[in-house]
Every structure is written in structure tokens, then in C-alpha cells.
């Protein structure tokens, strides 16, 4: 074994021929020596390395490069955008329980809330509430005018930009228009909060804010007139009356030498434009001219 | 790490790697197929493979990859072309000063028989034996190139020497 290892070492160049002969003097290494010597003389193809390389290069080999993709910011943006869309859409699908009702010009809508309270929405108004929270919190947001018949139960709140109305169970009308906020109580008690001031209304009382001026007006109708396709006004500036006309008839009213702050008491129908315009203009000694969608109001006294 | 990995794709690095190894790898291919012309072709193919996959190969392992590639080629291709190896011409005899014609003849005969004996070695023994003898590679280097253990190389070498010695001693008489 030892001899074999030494022979291997000899062939590996670790021991010289003479050393191994001394170590194992009993063995004849002549044949091995000759094998080792002559086997080195075997002819191998002499390669002209440079020439071979040139030949190799002639082939023009394709190189499969692994492309290092930098984390592309644009890719992230795309991913983020997709995620955003998914998250927002899923939010609206699964988490947004806001329900809203909306009416256009000259349109009213009647519907029930989850607790069977009835709401009648006047023209160009919007009402939004949270379906999920409704049982715990009867609260809704109104932009425009609506009549409520609230069924008995927990506190019922109507939020508007101008003020807040709270009731327990009653009938009332809320009108919230530009520079105009009016709450009319038709039954029970209604609490109105306006500018941190709270007023409790009883049946037949109304609370009105026109251009920042608070007024308390009594009335004796049992239902708001607009439910019967009529708009009634009690000392309301012409400006708001015109707005109401525009909402009910899809017209644009322009004026000429007309005082918009003068008050109007009366009503107009929602069924006939001419009659409605007449019922507003005649008491105020005005005239009107219809030009398509445009209506011009002017004072005939001035002309 | 990143730079070293793709070093092989760098043309100048690849060229020097090529020039460094072309002779020994061709020798290796020659020990395998014993055909001078074919061995270079195999080697060129192997280099082509390395160039194509340069980005995937760790350059420290490139040499092993080169030998393994050539080795694998012979697993698939032509197992044995019985083209016999030859000695290079005008080589000295072991006893340089002995010009005795009988000695010369005797050595020529020995060489001839050795050549046949080497052809009779198993493939794995022959390649290890010739890598050691002709290329002067240490066992450790051979092990590295062929991706085998040094023990295996030594075992093959011992086997080759035993076989050759037996053959040559038998014929001695």
C-alpha cells in the first residue's frame, strides 16, 4: 500500500525517481520509469490557440444574456395604479353602504327608508344615508328640499349644509336652497339646530333663514303644498321664488329692472308654466316674455 | 459577486480564458476520442456553449464546466474511434547517450507496446493517466477539472499504472 502511494507521489512529481528507488530498493522500477517517460512522448494535437480563437470568433455566436431587470419605477406605478383601482372599487362594492337618491329638475321622488319612514324628495335634490348604520343611527344628509314622515323610533337626524334637524317621530319638511333654509313642522316636535342655536318647533310652526336672517313663521296647511304640485310662499324674496320656478320648469329666468329682494306671498302650480309665471308676476306687477328656455321678467311700469 | 459572475461575458476575459485552456482541453478531448481533427471541433463546440451561457456560469467554475461539457459530449457521441495514438517524432530515449542499435530497437518496441497498452486502458483511467503524464497535471488539478474527488483520480491512476506495468512486464520476456 505504502509503495503504491509512493509510486503515485512519484508520478505526481512529489518524489523523485531516485528517492523511490532508495525507499523500495527491492523493487524494480525500470518498467514504470519507462512507462512514465515514454507516455509523455505521445503526440497531441498542437493547437495554435490564437488561430483557434479567431476561427471560433468567426462563428459569431449568440450570447444568452440574463437580463438584469432593474426594479422599474414605472412598473411599480402600474402595479400601484391597478391596486388603487381594485381597492377603491372593492371599497365601493363592499364597504360603501351609502345610498343616495337624487331628483332632477321638475321631478319628485317618493321612497321609504329602511325603518319605513317616508321621504318625498322635491325637484333637484339629493339625499344620502348609510344603509348599514341606519339601525343604530338614523342620520341622513340632504341637499335640497324634502318632506319627511318619520316613523317612531330613535333620534332621526337630517343634516344640511346650513343646519341640522332632529326629530323622534313626526312629519316635517326641510328646504335647503341657496341662501335659504326652512324647516316646517307638520306634526309632533322638531328640533332645528342652526349656527349652534337650537329651536324646537311644534306643529304649524316653521323655522326659516333667508340670507342669514332667522324668521319664525306660522302656517296652517297639513302638508307641504309642493306635494300637490304647487309651491307656496309666505313673504319670500323674489330671488328664491325664481329659483323655485327654475327648478320646477327647467327654465332660466333673467330679469330687467326688477327688485329681487321684494317679497312674494302666494303660490304657483307645477303643471302649467304660463299660469305659474302669471301667478308670480301679476301680484308683483311684472311682465314676462318666454324665449325658448329663457324667461325674461321685466317691470312694465318702468317701461 | 455580480461582477465576477458575468465576467465570462466580457469578451476580453473570455478570450484569455480561451487561450489559457485551449491546449489542455484539446488534449483532454484527444485522450477521449483519439482523433486530432475531431478533438478541436468538440472543444470549439464546448467553448461555444460556454459563451452562450456565459451569464449563467460562475467564472471560477468555468474550467470545470469546460471539461465537463467535453466529457459529456463523449457520453453521447461516438464512443470509440479506434484511431491509435502516435508518438511525436524525434523524441529522445530514456538513456540519451546510448546509441547502441539494439538498445534503440528495444526502446522502439517498448514504445510501440506501451502505445497499445494505453489504448487498452479504460477511458477514465486513460484520461487521468494522460492528463498526468502529458499535461503534467497534479491529481488535485485533475480532480478539479473533472469535478471528481482526488481519491478517485488517485485510484484511477493506480489502476492505470498497475495495468500498464502488468502488460509491459508480461511482454518483457
A139-177: pLDDT as tens digits? 888 888 888 888 877 788 888 888 888 887 788 888 888
3-state secondary structure of A179: coil
Own/partner pairs for B28-31, CB < 8 Å, 24+ apart?
B28/B67, B28/B70, B28/B127, B28/B131, B28/B135, B28/B145, B29/B70, B29/B73, B30/A44, B30/A45, B31/B126, B31/B127, B31/B130, B31/B131
What's the pLDDT score for residue B2? 43
- A85 or B79, higher pLDDT: A85
- Give B91 to chain A, closest Cα distance, Å: 7
When pLDDT is averaged across residues A23-29 and rounded to a whole number, the result is 78
Other CB atoms within a 10 A radius of the CB of residue A258 amount to 20
Model confidence pLDDT, tens digit, residues B9-59:
788 888 888 888 888 888 888 888 777 777 888 888 888 888 888 888 887
Please tell me if residue A39 touches chain B, with a CB cutoff of 8 Å.
yes
Using the beta-carbon criterion (under 8 Å), do B36 and A34 form an inter-chain contact? no
State how far the Cα of B120 lies from the Cα of B163, in Å rounded to an integer.
Answer: 9
Q: Which domains does chain A have, with CATH numbers?
A: 2-60 (no CATH), 98-226 (2.60.120.1440), 230-302 (3.55.50.30)
Contacts of B13 in chain A (CB under 8 A): none
Judged by CB atoms closer than 8 Å, whether chains meet at B26 and A44 is answered as yes
CA–CA distances in Å: residue B1 to residues B4, B5, B6, B144: 5, 6, 9, 21
Position B153 scores a pLDDT of 92
Contacting A residues, span 44-83, partner chain B, CB-CB under 8 Å: 44-45, 47, 49-50, 52-53, 55-56, 59, 61-66
Q: In the prediction, which pLDDT does B6 show?
A: 61
Question: Sorting pLDDT into bands at 50, 70 and 90, what band is B156?
Answer: very high
For A226-265, how does the pLDDT look when each residue is reduced to its tens digit (9 = 90+)? Answer: 888 888 888 888 888 888 888 888 888 888 888 888 888 8
Query: Is 0.80 surpassed by the pTM of this model?
Result: no
Confidence of residue A66 (pLDDT cuts 50, 70, 90): low
Share of chain A above pLDDT 90, in %: 1
Q: What mean pLDDT is predicted for residues A113-124?
A: 85
Residue B155: pLDDT band (50, 70, 90) is: very high
pLDDT of residue A115: 81
Residues A146, A119 contacting (CB under 8 angstroms) = yes
Amino acid at each position: 500500500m505504502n509503495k503504491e502511494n509512493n509510486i503515485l507521489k512519484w508520478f505526481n512529481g512529489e518524489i523523485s525517481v531516485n528517492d523511490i528507488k532508495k525507499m523500495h530498493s527491492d523493487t524494480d522500477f525500470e518498467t514504470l520509469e519507462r512507462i512514465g517517460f515514454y507516455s509523455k512522448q505521445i503526440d497531441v494535437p498542437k493547437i495554435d490557440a490564437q488561430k483557434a480563437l479567431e476561427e471560433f470568433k468567426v462563428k459569431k455566436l449568440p450570447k444568452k444574456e440574463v437580463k438584469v431587470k432593474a426594479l422599474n419605477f414605472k412598473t411599480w406605478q402600474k402595479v400601484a395604479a391597478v391596486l388603487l383601482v381594485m381597492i377603491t372599487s372593492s371599497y365601493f362594492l363592499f364597504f360603501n353602504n351609502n345610498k343616495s337618491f337624487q331628483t332632477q329638475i321638475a321631478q319628485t321622488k317618493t321612497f321609504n327608508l329602511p325603518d319605513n319612514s317616508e321621504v318625498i324628495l322635491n325637484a333637484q335634490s339629493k339625499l344620502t344615508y348609510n344603509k348599514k348604520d341606519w339601525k343604530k343611527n338614523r342620520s341622513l344628509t340632504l341637499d335640497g328640499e324634502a318632506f319627511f314622515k318619520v316613523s317612531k323610533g330613535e333620534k332621526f337626524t337630517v343634516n344640511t349644509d346650513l343646519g341640522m334637524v332632529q326629530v323622534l317621530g313626526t312629519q316635517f319638511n326641510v328646504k335647503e336652497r341657496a341662501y335659504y333654509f326652512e324647516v316646517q313642522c307638520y306634526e309632533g316636535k322638531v328640533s332645528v339646530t342652526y349656527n349652534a342655536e337650537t329651536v324646537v318647533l311644534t306643529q304649524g310652526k316653521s323655522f326659516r333663514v333667508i340670507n342669514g336672517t332667522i324668521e319664525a313663521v306660522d302656517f296652517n296647511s297639513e302638508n307641504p303644498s309642493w306635494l300637490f304640485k304647487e309651491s307656496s310662499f309666505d313673504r319670500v324674496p323674489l330671488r328664491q321664488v325664481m329659483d323655485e320656478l327654475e327648478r320646477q320648469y327647467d327654465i332660466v329666468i333673467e330679469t330687467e329692472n326688477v327688485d329681487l329682494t321684494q317679497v312674494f306671498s302666494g303660490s304657483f302650480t307645477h303643471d302649467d308654466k304660463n299660469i305659474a309665471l302669471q301667478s308670480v308676476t301679476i301680484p308683483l306687477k311684472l311682465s314676462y316674455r318666454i324665449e325658448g328656455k329663457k324667461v325674461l321678467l321685466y317691470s312694465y311700469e318702468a317701461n | 459577486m455580480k461582477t465576477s459572475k458575468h465576467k465570462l461575458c466580457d469578451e476580453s476575459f473570455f478570450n484569455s480564458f480561451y487561450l489559457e485552456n485551449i491546449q489542455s482541453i484539446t488534449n483532454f478531448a484527444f485522450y477521449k476520442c483519439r482523433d486530432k481533427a475531431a478533438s478541436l471541433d468538440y472543444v470549439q463546440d464546448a467553448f461555444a456553449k460556454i459563451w452562450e451561457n456565459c451569464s449563467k456560469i460562475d467564472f471560477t467554475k468555468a474550467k470545470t464546466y469546460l471539461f465537463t461539457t467535453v466529457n459529456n459530449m463523449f457520453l453521447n457521441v461516438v464512443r470509440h474511434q479506434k484511431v491509435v495514438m502516435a508518438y511525436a517524432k524525434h523524441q529522445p530515449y530514456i538513456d540519451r547517450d546510448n546509441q547502441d542499435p539494439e538498445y534503440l530497437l528495444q526502446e522502439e518496441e517498448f514504445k510501440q507496446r506501451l502505445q497499445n497498452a494505453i489504448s487498452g486502458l479504460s477511458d477514465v483511467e486513460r484520461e487521468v493517466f494522460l492528463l498526468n503524464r502529458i499535461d503534467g497535471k497534479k491529481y488535485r488539478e485533475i480532480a478539479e477539472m473533472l469535478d471528481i474527488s482526488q481519491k478517485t483520480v488517485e485510484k484511477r491512476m493506480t489502476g492505470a499504472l498497475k495495468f500498464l506495468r502488468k502488460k509491459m512486464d508480461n511482454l518483457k520476456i
